[in-house]
Chains A and B, each alone.
Chain A
Amino acid sequence: MAVRVPAPARRPPETQPARGGSLAWISQVVSGILLFVLLGVHIVMQHFVAKGGLRDYAQVLSYLSNPAVLAVESLFVLVLIWHAMLGLRAVLFDFGFGHRGQAAITWGVVVLGTITGGYSFWLIAALAAKN
């Protein structure tokens, strides 16, 4: 009697790690997990701990005077931009550009991420320097 063996479950195409490169996919997952924690801390500290839901000017400067807060906020910015740029790259890759197009997209998101990171760290440093 023939025994029917169920076919192994296949991962749907949209979840294939090869999409945009497996290293990029792993990096996206790791940064996503880190973001869950860092974004949670950021939102709770900025909007739920602060009275009235938002910090006033003096409270923002006082908050950023703590070196531990500066370190966490800087890490948050770094991970967020990394995750966002990888995501943007993956979305653009979905449109099926060729190898040269994909290389240009990768360079484009590297440049955009560097500019965004540079501006964000300047912002943090400028506010920390006001203390």
Chain B
Amino acid sequence: MSATARTGHPARRPLQSTLRGAAGWARGRHLGSVAFLTNRVTGLLLVAYLYLHLGVLYLLTRGSGSWASVLHLFKNHYVLSLESLLILFILVHGLNGIRLALVGSGIGVRHQKAWFTAAMSASAVVYVVVVLAMFGVI
């Protein structure tokens, strides 16, 4: 008889099993799930940014004074740092999206974890270069 049937409540996951699951995550056993979740989360963040961006662009219709205040705001390093995160989300979502498209089309299915690692590594490298360019270092 199952724990659910005996007690009327779903059986609790033993601590040992939870720890094994966490170790599995660390070993990359669930890398496919992480990649999928990454794509969903970055996609939703980018949709939210789209509406924020469209809202900010409305100030262009109000004249040069309104737009000058936006330009002033975007010179702030904290705002610039947040903007740089947008680049990171675009890179991660875009490169991981290409991986999903290829794997979904049956291309490189066996190597999908390596593709994910490569996509994230490429995102990190391009992100660092873009941030350095944004802050005028290069």
Contact = CB atoms under 8 A, between A and B. Distances in A.
Are A and B physically bound partners? Answer: yes
Contact of A57 (B43, B51, B68, B74): B68
Given A12-B112, A14-B36, A56-B67, A32 B97 contact: yes
Interface stretch (B1-9, B11-19, B21-29, B57-65): B57-65
A128 to B, nearest CB: 11
B32 A12 contact: yes
Interface residues of B, number: 38
A97 interface: no
A78 to B, nearest CB: 13
Interface in B44-63: 44, 46-47, 50-51, 54, 57-58, 60-61, 63
Interface of B: 32-33, 35-36, 40, 43-44, 46-47, 50-51, 54, 57-58, 60-61, 63-64, 67-68, 71, 74, 87, 90, 94, 97-98, 100-101, 103-106, 109-110, 112, 133-134
